[in-house]
Amino acid sequence: MVQKEEQVSPFLVFFLIHAIQVGVGILGFQRIVIKSGGNDSWIAVIAAAIIVSAVIFILYTLLNRHQMDIIQIQKKLFGKYIGSLFGLIWIMNWILLTVTVLSSFVEIVEVWVFSTINIYVFAFIFILLTYYCLTGGFRVVAGICVLGTIIPMYLYLTFLFPLEHTHLRNLLPIWNHSIKEMGLATRDMSLSYLGFSSLLMYYPYIKNAKSSQKWAHFGNILTCLIYLFLMVITIGYFSEKQLSHHIWATLSLWKIVELPFVERFEYIGITSWVLMILPNICLLVWAAAEGIGKVVNIKQKKVLLIILLIVYILTIFMSGRERIDMMNNVSAKLGLFLLFVYIPVLSAYSFVWNKLKEKKK
Amino acid sequence: MKKIFQLFLLAVIVFLNGCMNIDTQILDEIQLSSATGYDLVDEDQYEVTVVYPVYESGGGVKNKTLTTTDNLSKEVRDKLNLKSEKPLVSGKLEVALYSRELAEKGISLILDSLTRDPSVGSNVMIGVADGSTKEILEQQYGETDNGIFLSDLIEQNMEAGVIPKTNLHLFMYGNYAEGLDPIAPIIGLSEDELTLKAIGLFDSDRLVGHVDEKDFSLLRVLMEHKSKRDSFSLEINDHEKVSISSMGTTLNYKVSNPMEMSDITIHLKIKAYIREYIDGGLKKIKKQQIEKAFEKDIKERGDALVKQFQELGIDPLGVGEEVRTRSRNWDVKKWDDLYPEISIHIVPEVNITETGVLE
């Protein structure tokens, strides 16, 4: 059982969920969704949020039933060895997500701001910073999530600048795509919501965990609103074919911003974005470390160093558009499968298992 | 012990920041190019001219230009650097000019170097030069930097309601949009003075025609759904001259059967006030008569303008976009066949609400 003083208030789940959903994906999700969703992509944003809310509901029913984290649940349901094996898949998923986030951000810095930046040092600083945060335990991670949500909020105001050149009639005609296209768009969109699976690890760290469910849904709704806002502006600001050339549409929106004291806003924006990336990486690495600590009994600090080393090496290795794209694909598929297929199945299995147990009694 | 370790960690993080090998660009040690011009030399050789300001100790600005030829515009920068004592950077680029011959061949390939470069903003003005861009850029205009002078020239006219809105982003938007074609101002020298001569009409990225000065404000109100400060003037009955300025225009499309061979009507409402009225003597202003006269004139000129666009097969007004957002069976190919044949009417409605301080 987790000590009381290590637990956090239930409302912090709002920030924990929101901060991890919004990361690097938000800088360029539009192009991929619009490929199949076209001018109806904003519907996909909402549809994906609804599906994610449903998954959060399933996660909570599963976690409430057992009152422990996913590694322990799997161990209980499948036995020690198979349960641990499944646990390793989750840990891999989190590590892979961390690497995806970090290397995507390094790429953005390389392409948009400093083309000659030494990525070895840059990634190393990031890893050190993560280690520094994680030595403080879960409460510090939750705090970082709060700061990473609130401080960069002002950035969303800058997306009002493109409104001057926005043709909102581009949204019309509403619903001129087939169900299949919308399904594909929704699937691509739901990738931008991933990461909230870390809830499976930090659930025992929440006071009155049952009551935190509504906060998780609110966090998801905030994410949805932000994505919706950006999607509508993007659809109006770019013509469809033009958008297909912009890898980071959100950053391209900033190119029109001109302030009296700064000519190119991207420099400020991308630097501020570090604050949004840090909670992502901290929380994911924390989940992975906590997971390994539960699978095998080692001290968490030692595990942490090993995980950060793995993340560092993979991040350095995974540079260049093609490799990052490939990794994005792999982590997206794994994440989608785990959350939208495996979790509902697991939840159903645990329900039956519990019922049988009760009958035996 | 833990505290000391954490402090040490923080110190390492801070000091490591110096090892990231970040390029510093100190303002005194670089040349900020403010305008570039592209001329066509032959098939695929461009002559590129770059202007950068040199700030003199007295407070004045002198413009310096560098010219070189090559077939890739970033390669050109390397070549230009061979002639410059400080490295050239494009972060402060204000205007990109293309010569008429080049624009007629198509400029999307060259525009790629602007849109791909993260340091170039979307607010860069795109212009077509009547004549050689080198000649235009080598002149000294007043006391300012040439790039700023050129972009101010275009921007001022955009804001004053003379020409339609244009910049790099809007140009690319029109270039890629299915039912819309971009425009760009044509700038030229006449007797050593830089003038906005016409508005160039593009078919995707090729210059195919232009609109003359007398139709600037008409093109503007037809392109922008809501605009302000557009002025029209007219001579009624030989001796009465009237000039009006709009306080607000609204544009409404009536498309009865989108994607079919049916009429498209453009309702243009202009709320205006009288700026100038000369009729040889003081007389009660015949408001209605003036309104009618303007409506007739705008309709005639507007229909002629649309005819011209249809003959050229271009659509700067975005009629195609209007149809696309209204129909569920949009098909670019079919629309491109339909567009030149379809009949498009302009129905203006001028409403004069104020007459200035005089009656």
Chain A contact present for B226, CB below 8 A: no
Q: Is the pLDDT of residue A32 over 60?
A: yes
> Encoding tokens for residue B264?
């498209």
pLDDT, tens digit, 9 for 90 and up, residues A219-239? 999 999 999 999 999 999 999
pLDDT, tens digit, 9 for 90 and up, residues A132-183? 899 888 999 999 999 999 999 999 999 999 988 888 888 888 888 889 999 9
Q: B123 and A169 in contact by Cβ < 8 A?
A: no
CATH 3.40.640.10 given to domain A10-349? no
Tell me what pLDDT residue B72 has: 65
Chain B contact present for A116, CB below 8 A: yes
Range A291-300 contact pairs with CB under 8 angstroms and sequence separation of 24 or more: A291/A69, A291/A70, A291/A71, A291/A87, A291/A90, A291/A91, A291/A94, A291/A201, A292/A91, A294/A69, A294/A71, A294/A72, A294/A87, A295/A71, A295/A84, A295/A87, A295/A88, A295/A91, A296/A84
Domain boundaries, chain B: 29-211, 224-359
**Which one of A111, A132, A133 makes the best mutation probe of the B interface by having the most chain B beta carbons within 10 Å?**
A132
> What's chain B's average pLDDT?
84
Chain A contact present for B22, CB below 8 A: yes
Percent of chain A with pLDDT over 70: 100
Chain A's closest residue to B321, CA to CA, is A170
Tell me what pLDDT residue A307 has: 92
Helix/strand/coil percent split, chain B, to 5 = 35, 35, 30
Whole-complex ipTM: 0.87
Residue range A47-72: mean pLDDT, rounded: 92
* Chain Cα centroid distance, residue A26: 10
Residue range A58-85: mean pLDDT, rounded: 90
Q: What is the largest CA-CA distance in chain B?
A: 97
Residue pairs between chains A and B whose CB atoms are closer than 8 Å: 95
Tell me what pLDDT residue B330 has: 85
**Rounded to whole angstroms, how far apart are CA atoms A128 and A308?**
9
Task: Chain B: give the shortest CA distance to residue A240, in Å.
Answer: 7
- For tokens 């950035």, name the residue: A155
Q: A117 and B21 in contact by Cβ < 8 A?
A: yes
Q: Which of A118, A242, A255 sits opposite B19 (nearest CB)?
A: A118
H or E segment at B2? helix B2-16
Helix/strand/coil percent split, chain A, to 5 = 85, 0, 15
The pLDDT-based confidence of B282 (bands split at 50, 70, 90) is very low
Residue B260: C-alpha distances to residues A201, A351, B337, B343 (Å): 59, 58, 11, 11
Residue range A57-85: mean pLDDT, rounded: 90
Q: Which of B121, B178, B180 sits opposite A258 (nearest CB)?
A: B121
Q: Is the pLDDT of residue A282 over 80?
A: yes
Q: Is the pLDDT of residue B82 over 80?
A: no
Residues in chain B: 359
Report chain A residues whose CB lies below 8 A from the CB of B9: 128, 131-132, 135
**Rounded to whole angstroms, how far apart are CA atoms B129 and B19?**
46
pLDDT, tens digit, 9 for 90 and up, residues A292-316? 988 887 777 788 999 999 999 999 9
Rounded (10°) angle between helices A179-190 and A41-66: 60
**Rounded to whole angstroms, how far apart are CA atoms A254 and A260?**
15
CB burial of A317-348 (b: ≥16 within 10 Å; e: otherwise) equals ebeeeeebeebbeebbebbeebbbeebeebbe
Task: Chain A: give the shortest CA distance to residue B85, in Å.
Answer: 22
Q: A242 and B123 in contact by Cβ < 8 A?
A: no
Chain A contact present for B17, CB below 8 A: yes
pTM for the full predicted model:
0.91
The pLDDT-based confidence of B183 (bands split at 50, 70, 90) is very high
Report chain A residues whose CB lies below 8 A from the CB of B122: 252, 255-256
Task: Chain B: give the shortest CA distance to residue A17, in Å.
Answer: 27
Chain B contact present for A128, CB below 8 A: yes
Antiparallel, parallel or unpaired: β B183-190 and B193-203: antiparallel
Domain at B224-359, CATH homologous superfamily: Nutrient germinant receptor protein C, domain 3 (3.30.300.210)
Q: B20 and A165 in contact by Cβ < 8 A?
A: no
- For tokens 């590590």, name the residue: A95
